[in-house]
Structure 1
Amino acid sequence: MKRFNRSFMTWILLFALVSGTWWIPTMAEEVFLEATREDFQKIPIWVLDFPYVGTNHTGQLNGYQDAVDVLKADLTRSQVFAVQDLPAARVPFPESKCLRPQILSTAAERGITASTWGRIIVGQANTASPGLIFDACAFDTGNKEFLVGKRYYSGTVSESLLRLMIHRWADELVYRYTGEPGIAQTKIVYVSEQHRGRELFVMDYDGYGPQQVTANGFLNLMPAWHPNRRFIVYTAYRGHKQEIVQRELASGKEDILVSAASLNITPAFSPDGKWLAYASADSGNSDIFKLNMETRTIQRLTTHRSADLSPSWSPDGRHIVFTSDRGGRPQLYIMDADGNHVRRLTFQHDYNAAPAWSPRGDWIAYVCRIPRQGFKLCRITPDGRQAVQITKGPSIDDSPSWSPNGRHLVFSSVRRGASHIYLIHRDGTGLERITQNGTHHSSPAWSPL
């Protein structure tokens, strides 16, 4: 059984979205928590109220009332915070200042490390002025000091903009405690079955706001992101040709990178964006090639008579992991980026394919066939010494793709006859379905930061 599925930049904002900091931390040396350690203890956080202020939110936001829920979900997904199950509490917010509310004494008594609150202004109070403001504050209860205060502003009012502001605030909190950027503003590109073909869509990392990218009625498969998020690349089946196409998301302009009657699949950019690795059967069987994105010259990396496909780059760009059946069954192999020093990586199970190298470099996720369980997701260290099964249960799991912080995976899964996109933490917890409509969504790819 051969499985080839592998797997918008943030949609261009037509207005200015500006953020400002009201409160600047002291110049003391910053201390960050290492959130990737297995023994990391999540930070208890209390999300208080974010009430609406102004006269226009009911009409312009259609009564949107989910701001607190969106923030709680972002913080929970981060795996940095443990959101406390406490009721939201209204906090006074005079003159756009982060004043310490009296209620924080309750947080301290309960051992809650962090608290956040704010307000949402739609228009100005008692006026009909347009505009959207998201004010947010954070207090570190443990150190008894303010962490940060932010104001986000847009001249345009929309639900998607408000969600973007909330995502930015969640990412700010993650950065303040870990020193690493958050992932709440990232995107996922994926394939969706439509009436005339399979088209590409882009959605927020939590599944909100899917936007159609292609609409040509062909089979558009296996999308991947350019490191700068301006472009995606994918395989398009057009007539008798299988083309690898690069598309600029803002303009829709397309550039055919590889075109032939033979198989051309599983494209993947190098971390610096200078090379594109892909599989092609132009020589008869499927081999791994890489395309120089500046000169458009092509270099063949594998010459084995077996089928080689699904290349994925190491974060430093020096190695490529790929799938090959040169040993009789599909297994993972690693080679240098020039095609030398090929070595077999996986030995457990009779089918291992579709590798994805973590941006941290510490793990490679892949599809593994487990006896009496079927196709699941596994991960293995690049030296092959440790392998872990990630997913379980009655499903067919495929096309893993890492979040840019290496803590989560997005993948497609067939459950009860329908294929949908799911998120999961790399330890196998936090499973969450993020596509809701339709019956076939597949080949997700998580954007860079």
Structure 2
Amino acid sequence: MDKQRDFVLRTIEERGVKFVRLWFTDVIGTLKSVAIAPAEVEGAFTEGLGFDGSAIEGLTRSQESDLLAHPDPSTFQTLPWRGDVDPTARMFCDLTTPDGQPAVADPRNVLKRALSKAADAGFTFYTHPEIEFYLLKSSQIGPDGPVPVDSAGYFDNVPGGTAHDFRRSSVRMLEDLGISVEYSHHEGGPGQNEIDLRYADGLATADNIMTFRTVVKEVAIEQGVYATFMPKPLSGQPGSGMHTHMSLFEGDVNAFYEEGAEYHLSKVGRHFIAGLLTHANEIAAVTNQFVNSYKRLWGGDEAPSYVTWGHTNRSALVRVPLYKPRKAQSARVEYRGLDSAANPYLSYALLLTAGLKGIEEEYELPAEAEDNVWSLSPGERRALGYKPLPASLDAALHQMEESDFVAETLGEQVFTYVLLNKRREWHEYRAQVTPFELKSNLEML
């Protein structure tokens, strides 16, 4: 750690960095930032930077408001969009109380606790997210809703199109920040794009996702368009998901791989999937935390609606991707329920812990869903035992508040605050009179 701190301090001086932004997130996953002068960085390393946590959504109760932000030197990067004008860097922070205890409501700490639990069981958790988002002409909503920048579709090549320049600039900027990109392409909706990040450990991935969202927003501003991670911004078009590939390693050995097993999936991998399926409904209020999230889950277009698993079945909630011959390291499972607006720290903590619980308690994996789940009748799905995901945020909250597993994983304070915050969102939504109701009912009733 001392070597990393020395590197940061030396780099700040050598590159003439004028500001250092300290980043952390609130419980909902909104990025928070405070800028300090280079001269203050050494003090922030040794003592932390004090701030009023009660002013941040869900971080502390008012009677225990003082918190300290401790920058993690391993996350130091200069911000490429600042250019040579007042060069600026950033570091993610861990939050503590004044007596040095981890802040119970720090989302990054929630994930670190889950990763520590995995480490105690001998596992390292690796993740690889595929992040979808929409590019719109502006944040203004036209008479027919938001206006996308193009009308292209999946993998379309649009000569001279906005999306090409956008993805190129975004990928270059991400690489400059040390975030490796695997693929980028146009997605199925008009103006919809996807950028896939390379495998990294769970904490690095969560940090990378928060940086990714900032980069995408900054490039959009630079190019005169607007980027949104809203789960379903356009009616009748695909929603934006964050399918995440996951694997557990024991040292250099992929714990999900077994030679000769079906799909080369080990018992550990099968129990992990069973854990994901068993707890999927309980964690939905975190993995799909907005009212709008359920428009994506129940709007078709390859979003999963039922708690199932499959091999090449893209209608399943959990998928076992095609095994690559002689590549044991690539054995993995893909969780397709997450949307792009999720808090990655809390979501990955819950997904990992659900999988670990499946391993510890040897949950039995149900039969694979071989059919297109969407094309089955309700009766056929019931007969096959395919349970639906929650149909609304309200239904998801009912499942979450009954869950000892979620409460234990998140900790009492985060658990309570997520419920309070999301109940408020649901009540505000329920009180609205929507254009749909006016169009459907006003003249005929």
Q: Judge same fold: TM > 0.5, yes or no.
A: no
Greater share of helix residues, 1 or 2?
A: 2
TM-score with structure 1 length normalisation?
Answer: 0.29
Greater share of strand residues, 1 or 2?
A: 1
TM-score with structure 2 length normalisation?
Answer: 0.29
